[in-house]
Structure formats: structure tokens, C-alpha cells
A and B are shown apart, each in its own frame.
Chain A
Amino acid sequence: MIKLQKKILTVKNLKKYFTTQQGVVKAVDGVSFSMNIGDILGLVGESGSGKSTIAYTIMGIYTPTEGEILYKGDSYLNKGKRKISLKFKKEMQIVFQDPGSSLNPSQTIKEILELPLKVHNITKNKRERLKKVKEILEMVQLSQDYLYKYPNMIGGGEKQMISIARALAVNPSFILLDEPTSALDVSIQSKIIRMLMNLKKKLNLSYLFITHDLSLMRNVANYVAIMYLGKICEIAATEEFYNHSFHPYTQMLLSSIPVLSEEEERLKPKKIISQGEIPSPVNIPTGCGFHTRCSKKMDICEQEVPEMIEVGKGHFVCCHLFNQKFINIKT
């Protein structure tokens, strides 16, 4: 029972299908993971792998086709029930990828930051609200000059800080970061990431960090999950993940990172020539979705969908190569 309470977010067999003219798109196809309080889980994948769909489903923007999402052990999203209660909305916040389009251009920063305070009845009157807004701005290290500016008057990095400030306004305990720095330069990225890490320590937050940058996750996350075609291929604690990766796709991703120093070069797995592209989610290949690009493909991969196999403590791989049953047959 104690163990259950430590979990902040549990996703069980989550599926999200979209029906289009071309057929059913299986954007997310059976994803399960869980996060403890204070965790940072990095969800990494190429575009079209379903990362953002997971994010939007967790936030309740999409209704899941199947599966369960539990927040601190409570289910807040049942099939058919669209509305999430304010209580959960206050606990979970999201920061979007493009800071330019997620802030209302016709509102001042003050108005933008006041809205969540009004919706959640956090402050009673105007004076209190202004005080709180100033506090929030201080939290993200922006001066009070920003209060009466409009989003188009400030730079991309500052806009993203305002988005983060807006998420923090309601004192959430879980923040979903959907590629918060991919639209920004590296010099600004490191500033924002440092701030996010400080805030996490100070406010005891948990982050679900969606990104495609594996070297960034090395420095930030304590768990990393790799997604491919709506499924998780590998999930492990960061140290373990970067030192002993198992899935051929993970190795392909890691070996294709362009790095700066010799030291990093040595950490990368042996060069695996990346080939092919992510298939369209309308016609997912049979069996393992990755078999069309895999260098270690076996006959079984085309026929059977691999299952999650625990190869180490908390380290799961979704690949036939590590299935004891097949290894025995081979030898």
C-alpha cells in the first residue's frame, strides 16, 4: 500500500487510435510505464513515434481508446468521460513545444499568468493576484519589467520561461514538458534546463520530459524510455541505459548522435549504420514494428509481436533477441 502511494503517474496499456480516410492510425499502441514522485522520465523517439499523442492523452486533450492512466493511484480519465475535474488539472500542468503559439499574443504577461490563478481560485482579490504573479516571475528569474509586455516583445527563451511560469502558477506536482527546448538555441536551452532542475529540487516536482535529444536526457532524466511506432522498445534507469543498451533501435539512435569530444565517442555503441525510415503508422509492419530497419532481424520478428522482457533490475526491452524461449531454440 505504501508502495502504491509513491507512484505519481501510472500508465497501463494505453492505446490511442485515430480513424482517418486512409485507415486506422495506431498512434499509441499499448504503452505502460510508471513514475515515482520526484522522478524525471525522458520519453525519446523520432517524429511520428507517438510521443506527443501520449502527452496529450495524459493531459486529457485526447480520450484514450483503451487503457488506464492513474494519477497518485486515482483514475481521472475513464472511457467516454471527457471532462477532467479541476482538482487534477491543478495537479498536472503542461509546457508546450512552441512558445510562440502557446501564449496569447493579445494578452500581457500579467494577464497570461493571472488566468490560472483565477480559474483555480487561488487568490481572492486583485492585489493578492498581482503579488502572486510577481512571485511566480521571480521563480523563473524574470524581472518585473515583463509584467506589462506582450509575448511578441520578448525573445523565444523568455517566452518559454513564461510558459513554465504559467504552469507553475497553480503549484502543480507534475509537469509534462513536451519538447520545451527543441525550438531554442543551445545557449538558451541550457539556461532553461538549469532553471527547470532548480525548480524541481525546490518544489519537489516530477517531470515527464518528451524530447528527441538523447544527450540532453543523459544529463537530466533518471529514467529513459525509447518509443518506436507507438510502442516502448526499451526503458531503463539512465546510467544503465547509456552503458548497457540492448535494443537494436536504441543502439542505432545512440550511435547516430554527433558528439563533440573523444570521450563521448568512446561511450557510444559500435557504429550501427542507420537505414530506412520510420514506417507510416497506418500500415504498421507485422510482428515487431522495427524489423524493417533492424540489422539483427530473425524470422520470428516478422511474425510475432515481441513482449517486454526484464533484462536487469528495472530495465525492460521489447525485442525477440532477449527472449529466453527463442535463445534456447537457437542454441
Chain B
Amino acid sequence: MPLLEVKNLHVYFKVFEGKLKVLNGVDFYVKTGERVGFMGEMGCGKTTLMKSILKILPMPPAVIPEGEILFKGKDVLKIDKSQLLKLREKEISMIFQDPTAALNPVFTVGTQLYDVIKYANLDKNRKIKKEYIKNLLVKALENVYLPDPERIIQNYPFQLSGGMRQRICIAMSLASSNSLLLADEPDTSLDATIKDQILRLIDELIEKVGNTIILVSHALGTLKNITNRVYVMYAGSIVEVGPTKELFNKPLHPYSQGLIRSVPKLTGYGIGEGIEGNIPNYLSPPVGCRFHPRCKHVMSICKERKPPLFKINIDHKVACFLYQ
């Protein structure tokens, strides 16, 4: 049984103009110990998908009319509130895109971390001592290579640099010995050298703890270094999935091909062509394959039916009628 399995998930946002059909039947699974990546342009629904796994989407406006999110066999969408809180405390944690927005500006870093660790270790039968938590706290900060943790826990987020803040967020998400880590573009707001440091840190920590990670990013190089399996998302559905190396060397879906070709190469040879057009409007998304208005290989069937995932080999699947 996979650790996390999402089946036919639909997420809509109800707004004044109508219904934004953002997620359009997403299926995926993550096994224990796997490193899975998600890639796609901005506005493809990657973050919406991550947030719906933790059920932290604002509802309303969001509604989930269809679908199942099975974590260890239990449906996250159906469990009651106390179980949901337990899930967030001990089982799944998330690193957000912008560390500045993820930390509360009016509490010190120490207070925020203290609470996280306290609730992660909460046990009805046993009272935990303050010193014990404090010890864990300092250890958590040492784990992410923050110098002088005693001083840092007294600081407010604004007194720290972007890289340090992201380290705090990572420390926070790893503080509870959870089984699944969702990293939603942990590197986008950081500079090149800091990005390198943070990604190395995440790589090292999940290796050490043996965590399962879902890494969302639109930096393809990042995904290549960290994950073993990648899902490509376009306009709210999975268009291709495969082992990272295979997918980057031989992308099959026209969208994945376009994306990979447009990354500037260090070897030179000029710039790729890019993909014509934009992400569709979710109020009235194209019928059939949502990529068809931007696709070069469009056929008549693409405009009528949504392509299912066709099997290329055991791990590699692609949702495109070209491979029928």
C-alpha cells in the first residue's frame, strides 16, 4: 500500500464569475521512502494540490466535489477534526514557498519552534518537561547548520536573513518525526548560492531521517538533483509521469518537451523555442485535453476527449493521444 494515494481529485474555487475548475482529476501515489517531484508552470495547480493534501485550502471559496486523498489508507477528506490535527502535528509537514510569510512576525523564532515541537511530542500519558523540549529545539537548529542557536531562538523573523528563515522553516517541518514532507518550492525566493545550500540541506536531511518527500518546483535542475520520480502537471491534471532521469532525457508529452527545451543550457547553443500561449482560463477551460490550444501536434480527438494516462513502460506514463 502506498503511503499517500490521491484518486481522481477535483478542486474548484467558487468566485463571483463562476467556478474556477483548477484541479481536474489528479491521480498519483507516493510510496514510503520515495522522492517524488512535481513540475509545471505557474498556475498549474501544484500548490493547490499540496494544500489539499493537508486540507489547508481556504474553504470556501475552495470546494472538493470529487476525489479521495488516502494517507496510510485513511481518507484525509473524511476524517474528523481532531484526527486531522493529529495528522498535521505528527504525520505530514510542509515547507512553504516564502519563509517570510510562513513565520509569524510577532513571535520569536524560539517560541514558534517550541510550540511545534511541543505538539509534535504531545503524549496523553506522559508530561514533557520544558528542558526536554528546549534540548530538542537546539538540536533541531543545529541539524540545519544554524550557527549560535541560543541567540537565534531569541530573534524575531525579520532579524534573520532569507536563507536563515528558510532553515528555520525546514527545522520546524523536520522537528516532528513525521513520515511525509511536502516541500512547496522551498528555493524560489532564494539566491543561487543560498538555494544550493538549502537544497543540499534538504537532500542530506531526508537521507538521514529516511523521510518521504514531495518536492514541487518549476526549477527543473532542482528536481533532477533531488527526486527519483517526477510528475508533470498542466492546468490541473497530470500529463506525464516517469523516473526523473528517463523523463528529462526523453520527455514524451509535447508540454514536457516544450518545458525542458526552454531551459537555458550552460553549454550554449542558443535559446529554445518556448511554448506558445498561456495557461488557460480556469473559468472555461478548453474541452478535451487542456493543452490542445498550445499543442503543435493537435488532432481532432484532442478537442473532444480528455486523454487518459497511456503506459509506455512500467513507470513511465503519458496522457497524450499521440501515444495511444
Binding site for B on A (CB under 8 A): 46-47, 155, 157-158, 185-191, 193-194, 197, 212-216, 218-220, 242, 252-253, 256-261, 263-264, 267-268, 273-275, 277-278
- The listed residue (B193, B261, B266) touching A264 by CB distance below 8 A is B266
B303 within 8 A of A: no
Determine the chain B residues whose CB is within 8 A of the CB of A190 once the complex forms: 261-262, 264, 271-274
Q: By the criterion CB–CB under 8 Å, are B193 and A242 in contact? A: no
Q: By the criterion CB–CB under 8 Å, are A257 and B221 in contact? A: yes
Q: By the criterion CB–CB under 8 Å, are B266 and A215 in contact? A: yes
Q: Give Cα A190–Cα B219 distance, bound, in whole angstroms.
A: 14
Determine the chain A residues whose CB is within 8 A of the CB of B259 once the complex forms: 186-187
Q: By the criterion CB–CB under 8 Å, are A187 and B41 in contact? A: yes
Q: Give Cα A189–Cα B264 distance, bound, in whole angstroms.
A: 9
Q: Give Cα A80–Cα B275 distance, bound, in whole angstroms.
A: 48
User: From A264, which residue of chain B is reached at the shortest CB distance?
Assistant: B266
- The listed residue (B192, B199, B222, B271) touching A193 by CB distance below 8 A is B271
Determine the chain B residues whose CB is within 8 A of the CB of A186 once the complex forms: 218, 220, 259, 262-263, 274
Q: Give Cα A216–Cα B262 distance, bound, in whole angstroms.
A: 10
Instruction: Tell me, rounded to whole Å, the shortest Cβ–Cβ distance linking A229 to chain B.
Output: 13
User: From B191, which residue of chain A is reached at the shortest CB distance?
Assistant: A46
Q: By the criterion CB–CB under 8 Å, are B197 and A275 in contact? A: yes
Q: Give Cα A257–Cα B195 distance, bound, in whole angstroms.
A: 9
List 8 extra interface pairs beyond A188-B274, A190-B274, A216-B264, CB under 8 A: A158-B278, A218-B267, A219-B269, A256-B195, A257-B266, A260-B265, A274-B196, A277-B164
Instruction: Tell me, rounded to whole Å, the shortest Cβ–Cβ distance linking B71 to chain A.
Output: 30
B163 within 8 A of A: yes
B54 within 8 A of A: no
A197 with B271: in contact, given A187-B41, A216-B264, A257-B192 (CB under 8 Å)?
Answer: yes
- The listed residue (B161, B163, B191, B271) touching A194 by CB distance below 8 A is B271
Determine the chain B residues whose CB is within 8 A of the CB of A242 once the complex forms: 266, 268
Q: By the criterion CB–CB under 8 Å, are A253 and B193 in contact? A: yes
- The listed residue (A258, A267, A274, A277) touching B221 by CB distance below 8 A is A258
Instruction: Tell me, rounded to whole Å, the shortest Cβ–Cβ distance linking A81 to chain B.
Output: 35
B258 within 8 A of A: yes
Binding site for A on B (CB under 8 A): 41-42, 161, 163-164, 191-197, 199-200, 218-222, 224-225, 248-249, 258-276, 278-279
Q: By the criterion CB–CB under 8 Å, are B224 and A260 in contact? A: yes
Q: Give Cα A300–Cα B260 distance, bound, in whole angstroms.
A: 45
A interface, by DSSP: helix, strand, loop or mixed?
A: helix
Determine the chain B residues whose CB is within 8 A of the CB of A193 once the complex forms: 264, 271
Q: Give Cα A116–Cα B272 distance, bound, in whole angstroms.
A: 32
Q: By the criterion CB–CB under 8 Å, are A185 and B271 in contact? A: no
Instruction: Tell me, rounded to whole Å, the shortest Cβ–Cβ distance linking A50 to chain B.
Output: 14
Q: By the criterion CB–CB under 8 Å, are B275 and A46 in contact? A: no
Q: By the criterion CB–CB under 8 Å, are B191 and A278 in contact? A: yes
Instruction: Tell me, rounded to whole Å, the shortest Cβ–Cβ distance linking B201 to chain A.
Output: 11
Determine the chain B residues whose CB is within 8 A of the CB of A273 once the complex forms: 200
Determine the chain A residues whose CB is within 8 A of the CB of B261 once the complex forms: 190
User: From A196, which residue of chain B is reached at the shortest CB distance?
Assistant: B271
- The listed residue (A194, A212, A253) touching B274 by CB distance below 8 A is A194
Q: By the criterion CB–CB under 8 Å, are A189 and B274 in contact? A: yes
Q: Give Cα A20–Cα B104 distance, bound, in whole angstroms.
A: 26
- The listed residue (B191, B267, B279) touching A212 by CB distance below 8 A is B191
Q: Give Cα A218–Cα B266 distance, bound, in whole angstroms.
A: 6
Determine the chain B residues whose CB is within 8 A of the CB of A252 once the complex forms: 193
Q: Give Cα A257–Cα B315 distance, bound, in whole angstroms.
A: 28
A214 with B265: in contact, given A190-B274, A219-B271 (CB under 8 Å)?
Answer: no
Q: By the criterion CB–CB under 8 Å, are B266 and A187 in contact? A: no
12 examples of A-B residue contacts, CB within 8 angstroms: A185-B41, A187-B41, A187-B259, A188-B275, A213-B264, A218-B267, A219-B269, A257-B192, A258-B219, A260-B265, A274-B197, A277-B194
User: From A192, which residue of chain B is reached at the shortest CB distance?
Assistant: B274
Q: By the criterion CB–CB under 8 Å, are B220 and A260 in contact? A: yes
Q: Give Cα A259–Cα B195 distance, bound, in whole angstroms.
A: 13
Q: Give Cα A186–Cα B222 distance, bound, in whole angstroms.
A: 14
Q: By the criterion CB–CB under 8 Å, are B199 and A258 in contact? A: yes
Instruction: Tell me, rounded to whole Å, the shortest Cβ–Cβ distance linking B103 to chain A.
Output: 17
Instruction: Tell me, rounded to whole Å, the shortest Cβ–Cβ distance linking B194 to chain A.
Output: 6
Most buried by B among A185, A194, A218, A220: A185
Q: Give Cα A264–Cα B268 distance, bound, in whole angstroms.
A: 9
Q: By the criterion CB–CB under 8 Å, are B218 and A258 in contact? A: no
Q: By the criterion CB–CB under 8 Å, are A185 and B218 in contact? A: yes
Q: By the criterion CB–CB under 8 Å, are B161 and A219 in contact? A: no
Q: Give Cα A218–Cα B268 distance, bound, in whole angstroms.
A: 6
Q: By the criterion CB–CB under 8 Å, are B191 and A218 in contact? A: no
Q: Give Cα A253–Cα B193 distance, bound, in whole angstroms.
A: 6
Instruction: Tell me, rounded to whole Å, the shortest Cβ–Cβ distance linking B63 to chain A.
Output: 26
Determine the chain A residues whose CB is within 8 A of the CB of B271 once the complex forms: 190, 193-194, 197, 219-220
User: From A275, which residue of chain B is reached at the shortest CB distance?
Assistant: B197
Q: Give Cα A214–Cα B265 distance, bound, in whole angstroms.
A: 9
Q: By the criterion CB–CB under 8 Å, are A253 and B267 in contact? A: no
Instruction: Tell me, rounded to whole Å, the shortest Cβ–Cβ distance linking B271 to chain A.
Output: 5
Determine the chain B residues whose CB is within 8 A of the CB of A258 once the complex forms: 196, 199, 219, 221-222, 224-225
User: From A184, which residue of chain B is reached at the shortest CB distance?
Assistant: B42
The 7 tightest CB contacts between A and B, nearest first, are A258-B221, A256-B196, A190-B274, A191-B274, A190-B262, A274-B193, A46-B191
User: From B248, which residue of chain A is reached at the shortest CB distance?
Assistant: A260
Determine the chain B residues whose CB is within 8 A of the CB of A158 once the complex forms: 278
Q: Give Cα A198–Cα B273 distance, bound, in whole angstroms.
A: 13
User: From B259, which residue of chain A is reached at the shortest CB distance?
Assistant: A187
- The listed residue (A46, A219, A220, A267) touching B192 by CB distance below 8 A is A46
Q: By the criterion CB–CB under 8 Å, are B191 and A215 in contact? A: no
Most buried by A among B197, B200, B225: B197
Q: Give Cα A185–Cα B40 distance, bound, in whole angstroms.
A: 9
Q: Give Cα A81–Cα B176 distance, bound, in whole angstroms.
A: 60
Determine the chain A residues whose CB is within 8 A of the CB of B266 once the complex forms: 214-215, 218, 242, 257, 259, 264, 267-268
